[in-house]
Amino acid sequence: MNARPRLIVIGGDAAGMSAASQARRLRGSTDLRILALERGYHTSYSACGIPYLVGKTVPSPEDLISRDPETFRRDFDIDVRTGTEAEAIDLDRGTVTARTAGEGPVEEPFDELMIATGAVPVRPDLPGMDSPGVFGVQTLADGIAVREFVDTRCPRTAAVVGGGYIGLEMAEAFVQRGMEVHLVEAAAEPMSTLDPDMGRLVREALVKMGVRVHMEEPVTGIETAPGGEARAVVTDRAAYPADIVVLGLGVRPDSDMARAAGIEVGPTGGIAVDARMRTSAEAVWAGGDCVQSLHRISEAPVAIPLGTHANKQGRVAGTDIGGGYARFGGVLGTAISKVCGLEVARTGLNEAEAERAGFEFETATLESTTRAGYYPGAALMTLKVLAERRTRRLLGAQIVGWENAGKRIDVLATALWNSMSVDDVAAMDLGYAPPFSPVWDPVQIAARKLAEGM
Amino acid sequence: MNARPRLIVIGGDAAGMSAASQARRLRGSTDLRILALERGYHTSYSACGIPYLVGKTVPSPEDLISRDPETFRRDFDIDVRTGTEAEAIDLDRGTVTARTAGEGPVEEPFDELMIATGAVPVRPDLPGMDSPGVFGVQTLADGIAVREFVDTRCPRTAAVVGGGYIGLEMAEAFVQRGMEVHLVEAAAEPMSTLDPDMGRLVREALVKMGVRVHMEEPVTGIETAPGGEARAVVTDRAAYPADIVVLGLGVRPDSDMARAAGIEVGPTGGIAVDARMRTSAEAVWAGGDCVQSLHRISEAPVAIPLGTHANKQGRVAGTDIGGGYARFGGVLGTAISKVCGLEVARTGLNEAEAERAGFEFETATLESTTRAGYYPGAALMTLKVLAERRTRRLLGAQIVGWENAGKRIDVLATALWNSMSVDDVAAMDLGYAPPFSPVWDPVQIAARKLAEGM
């Protein structure tokens, strides 16, 4: 018997390993044993980097790994078991049933448990979905498989199903690899986290980049060649040639095992946690794509799968496990992406979300430039802002523009975090010099325009 | 007699013309006459663009003019008189004495007065300072003169006296024009608005760019050629060859005329104004480089000559004159600049300023990258942050780094505007994707590092 308490971490990516390493920083090896179970073969990698791996912007999969299992073992004294899937949690007995590939199930006892099981990609049950040549792009292993397929099979045509961030980034990757690219999307515009009027700008830019964009066409199946491999993506309107198909239809929290163990799961399908990342069960924490978070503006729970949240939540959980004090402050739904030079960013609530949250609001949309108009490289950017009626509080913002447009979303996110009014946003003292912005930063012109219209 | 009240605006640049045009928007021509007196021949131009005019990044002086006198006359019904200098204000009689070049003085009556006299460049009383070839770079006319000098005389050597923003930007301009450039500065490091440890990074970068940097060398005079024109900048250590000399020694508020009229001038030398830009005199407003502003962090008055403040203050004054309601929210001392690719930015208080303001504080300095480490173009940036002991409130930040580093200062400025703690800065939901930042934005890593050290 070993008297030292044991922490089991289920899931060896951002949230899980952040929690494990933070717990280790606060509690030395004499005080805590840590076992981390990872079903794949990689730990702590940048899933957001996968499109750049496929597009060869990033040379090697190793570039995306921030810490491999050996590093965690050596530097953090964490017993990392890859290729090992957790199958069940028994809270009464304090065990996790785990199975390493090719072996039988083993019961591993824990005193403390961190659930970081991540998310499950949405994969519609349609003909041909499991054919060779159809890929998800969720894990690093997925990314390596897509890159190998492109490297060895030299596909000439690619279809991306789903026009969200991942879809757009994969479309860019395939364009960079010289393929004919079809983007197939059920909604009227790509980037459904933007309002349609802003999504339209993205669609128009994609078309100019040579992407064949097919909107309002739900996929009905994958057509296969006689050998069984994918050949085309089929909608009720047409069949689009595709030697390779990538699914970017979003993910849902992987909370089934937690739910089966009796741990509370929220209305979003994410595990319910408090600000210290504690679940409804004693001594059980959770973080990352498998949990739901509080949206600071709608004040409703949301499940937003993003590496930034996973890292922060893992760190908060690890601090709590380690006996420290930290709280996760909630999310704003901030996101940013780049497609062939077009920068797309958003934060807070879009119109549909603001309506759903019961806000009365006004909007303003503004076109400006990223630098002083006379300075070389000044590029167009469109900004849309939403504010609550009466309180004049900023509710959300969206940006579509060229170089140096996107990261301005952080100013608006910081404003949202602080419940600023659009008047105050327009009044702030931001940095100005001709290579960086017009004398009134576009963020402030947009806020001013909205303020004046209210 | 004309019964319509008359507004006189002294100074036809950012603050003055913003006030005039905003007043006009709110009060039509039947309600208000507006006379604007401008001693130069240009209105509403980007003084910040002058270095780019000299460096030929910007082709023509016209590119820097946002609205010329004719536009103000035509579109705003403002009687703009250029080449006309206001010489005195008589508050009792309600007149401004103005003199148009080559004519006698004229008394112009006003009902309302907006003072936007700008700033006076510091010009030390040293031998040779008035020689041909020695230039200030405050007005567009200055900029045109420097450019013409470079175009026609083809100087091979240039000296910039003063290592602040303007000095650095002029050094860049001369480097771009192919000259040997000497930067001569009395302090130990350039950019005295940064702490010396951050200024050192700027100096090292300047040296690598080929600028000859001479620190801790107060200028003792300008050496002239037999024909009287500047030939070298002399310090107590050496004489640096200079076919052209540019003075970038800063400015002081041009408040003498206001003071002479009995209007209150503050300890900074700037005209004292309230948040609605009203001076101590009835029906007299002021704004721009000639006033002092409240620093939101030190809570002391400061005189910070910047186009952003001038524009905002002019607009507030114009709104008040127009019968509307607006307040100027104060300043943070945010500034940003670029020298040959190096981005330099700051906001809030540096160490010396924080000490002077009586704060107890801690600092943290961090090196990070502008994009995910594995993404092409990831560039180094150094961030320094200051926070108050006990309250953990952010007090200031400084950035020195390469492409895409500098504008991150806006996130920190927004945080400062909202009195955020470094803990909250580290917790925020900022935009992340590999082309834009590491998974923890450098701003947040720096805040976290400081938070952990407190």
pLDDT band at B162 (very low <50, low <70, confident <90, very high): very high
Asked if A308 has any chain B CB less than 8 Å from its own CB, the reply is yes
Banded pLDDT at A3 (limits 50, 70, 90): confident
Rounded alpha-carbon distances, angstroms, from residue A3 to A30, A31, A32, A33, A241? 10, 9, 9, 10, 61
Half-sphere exposure of B289 (CA within 13 A, CB side): 21
Residue pLDDT, tens place only, A404-435: 999 999 999 999 999 999 999 999 999 999 99
Q: Which of B429, B445, B449 would you mutate first to test chain A, the one with the most A CBs within 10 A? A: B429
Higher pLDDT, A3 or B337: B337
Do residues B348 and B431 both lie within one domain?
Answer: yes
- What are the structure tokens assigned to A164, written together? 């969200």
Nearest Cα to Cα of residue A118 among A20, A300, A257:
A257
Percent of chain B that is helix, strand, coil (3-state, to 5): 30, 30, 45
Indicate the burial class of B174 (C-beta count within 10 angstroms; 0-12, 13-18, 19 or more).
buried
Structural domain contains residue A432: yes
Contact across the interface for B407 and A404, Cβ inside 8 Å: yes
Sheet holding A335-339, edge to edge: A335-339, A342-348, A394-401, A380-388, A361-369
Contact A417 B428 (CB under 8 A): yes
Asked if B56 and B25 touch (Cβ cutoff 8 Å), the reply is: no
Tokens at B434, concatenated: 């590999």
**Is B410's Cβ below 8 Å from some Cβ in A?**
yes
Euclidean distance between CA atoms B197 and B195, whole angstroms = 6
Q: Could B431 and A335 be called an inter-chain contact, meaning their C-beta atoms sit closer than 8 Å?
A: yes
What residue in A sits closest to B324 (Cα-Cα)? A452
pLDDT at A2: 62
Contact between B298 and B283 under an 8 Å Cβ cutoff? The reply is no
For residue A311, what pLDDT is reported?
Answer: 97
Give the mean pLDDT of B35-49.
94
Q: Are residues A392 and A313 in the same domain?
A: no
- The answer to the question of residue A50 being in a domain is no
Domain assignment present for A57: no
Tell me, what DSSP letter sits at residue B41?
A: S
Residue B241's φ and ψ, nearest 5 degrees, are -60, 135
Beta strands A301-302 and A335-339, pairing class: unpaired
Q: Identify the three-state secondary structure at position B54.
A: helix
**Shared-domain flag, residues A104 and A147:** no
Q: Are residues A173 and A242 in the same domain?
A: yes
H/E element, A353: helix A351-356
Q: Do A410 and B415 touch (CB under 8 A)?
A: no
Same domain, A93 and A235: no
pLDDT over 90 for what percent of chain B? 98
Within-domain flag for B61:
no
Number of domains observed in the structure of chain A: 3
Same domain, B10 and B115: yes
> Nearest CA of chain A to the CA of B108: how many Å?
32
Q: Tell me: do A142 and A204 sit in the same domain.
A: yes
The DSSP bridge pattern shows strands A33-38 and A6-10 to be parallel
Percent of chain B clearing pLDDT 70 (strictly above): 100
Contacts of B335 in chain A (CB under 8 A): 431, 433
Report yes or no: A129 and A123 within 8 Å, Cβ to Cβ.
yes
Using the predicted structure, report yes or no on whether residue B422 has a pLDDT greater than 70. Answer: yes
**pLDDT per residue over B218-260, tens digit each?**
999 999 999 999 999 999 999 999 999 999 999 999 999 999 9
CA A331 to chain centre: 12
Q: Do residues B234 and B382 share a domain?
A: no
Which of B249, B271, B290 terminates a domain? The answer is: B249
pLDDT of residue B2: 62
Q: Say if residue B289's pLDDT is above 60.
A: yes
| Cα B239 from chain centroid (whole Å) | 29
| Dist CA A168 CA B82 (whole Å) | 54
Instruction: Please report the pLDDT score of residue B350 as a whole number.
Output: 98
Domain match, B296 and B346 both: no
- Backbone φ and ψ for A34, nearest 5 degrees, come out as -130, 125
Q: What integer is the mean pLDDT of A328-347?
A: 97
Encoding tokens for residue B442? 């450098």
Helix, coil or strand: residue B16: helix
Instruction: Give the C-alpha distances (Å, rounded to integers) separating B93 from B90, B97, B107, B108, B109.
Output: 6, 11, 10, 10, 8
Of B7, B16, B4, give the one whose Cα is nearest residue B96.
B7
User: In angstroms, rounded to a whole number, what is the distance separating the alpha carbons of residues B428 and A417?
Assistant: 7
Domain end residue (candidates: A202, A227, A249): A249
Give the nearest chain B residue to A309 (CA atoms): B429
CA distance A212 to A219: 15
> Quick one: average pLDDT of A13-41?
96
For this structure, is B340 an active site residue?
no
pLDDT tens sequence across B402-415: 999 999 999 999 99
B103 part of a folded domain? yes
Q: How many CB atoms lie within 10 A of CB B302?
A: 17
Q: Is the pLDDT of residue B1 over 60?
A: no
Contact B287, B263 (CB under 8 A): no
Q: Which pair of tokens denotes residue B299?
A: 């809570």
Where among B321, B350, B382 does a domain terminate? B321
How far apart, in whole angstroms, are the C-alpha atoms of residue A370 and residue A406? 10
A331 touching B (Cβ < 8 Å) = yes
What is the number of residues in chain B?
454
Q: Does A165 touch chain B (CB under 8 A)?
A: yes
Side chain identity, residue A296? R
Chain centre distance of CA B303:
10
| B chain contacts of residue A312, beta-carbon cutoff 8 Å | 427
Asked if pLDDT for residue B96 goes beyond 70, the answer is yes
- Separation of first and last alpha carbons in chain A: 69
State the average pLDDT over residues B337-360.
97
Kindly report the CATH number assigned to the domain that includes residue B441: 3.30.390.30
Query: Which residues, 6 or more positions from A203, have their beta carbon under 8 angstroms from its beta carbon?
Result: A189, A190, A213, A215
Q: Best of B168, B414, B445 to disrupt the A interface by mutation (most A CBs within 10 Å)?
A: B414
Q: CA B124 to CA B136: how far, in whole Å? A: 12
What angle, 0 to 180 degrees and rounded to 10, lies between the N-to-C axes of helices B307-321 and B14-26?
A: 30
Backbone angles phi, psi at B107, to 5 degrees: -95, 120
Cα angle: B186, vertex B188, B194; to 5 degrees: 105
> What distance in Å separates the CA atoms of residue A278 and residue A282, rounded to the nearest whole number?
8
Based on the domain organization, do B389 and B427 belong to the same domain?
A: yes
Residue numbers of the domain that contains A170 = 134-249
Angstrom CA distances, B335 to A133, A204, A271, B191, B323, stand at 52, 36, 44, 11, 32
Spacing of C-alpha B125 from chain mean position: 23
pLDDT tens digits, A47-71: 999 999 999 999 999 999 989 999 9
- The interface predicted TM-score of the complex, written ipTM, equals 0.95
C-beta of residue A145 within 8 angstroms of C-beta of residue A41? no
Residues within 8 A of A (CB atoms), B 49-108 only: 49, 52, 57-58, 63-64
CB pairs under 8 A between A and B: 193
- Residue A28 has a pLDDT of 94
State whether A432 and B329 contact (CB < 8 Å): no
- In the beta sheet, which residues pair with residue A40? none
Q: Which of these, A238, A248, A198, lies nearest to A381 by C-alpha position?
A: A198
Closest CA to A140 of A207, A71, A239, A42: A42
| pLDDT value at A1 more than 60 | no
Two structure tokens written together for A418:
């602080």
> Does residue B335 form part of some domain?
no
Q: Which of A296, A307, A427 sits opposite B312 (nearest CB)?
A: A427
| Alpha carbon distance B302, B348 (integer Å) | 12
Q: H helices within A228-327, ranges in order?
A: 256-260, 307-321
Q: How far apart are CA A434 and CA A374, in angstroms?
A: 8
Only one residue has tokens 């054919």, namely: A131
Asked if B391 is an interface residue toward chain A (Cβ–Cβ < 8 A), one would say no
Exposure string over A243-272, b if 16+ CB within 10 A, otherwise e: bbbbbbbebbbbbebbeebebebbebbbbb
A382 plus A411 within the same structural domain:
yes
Mean pLDDT for the stretch of residues B273-278: 98
Section A168-184 average pLDDT:
97
Among B58, B418, B440, select the one facing A420 at the smallest CB separation. B418
Residue A79 lies in a domain: yes
Q: What is the pLDDT of residue B88?
A: 98
Same domain, A223 and A265: no
Task: Give the A window 228-267 contacts with B, CB below 8 Å.
Answer: none
In a domain, B57, yes or no: no
What is the domain-level CATH number for residue B150?
3.50.50.60
**Separation between Cα atoms, residue B22 and residue A90, nearest integer Å:** 69
SS3 A342: strand
Task: Identify the band that residue B3 occupies on the pLDDT scale cut at 50, 70 and 90.
Answer: confident
Nearest to B426 by CA among A329, A321, A425, A428: A329
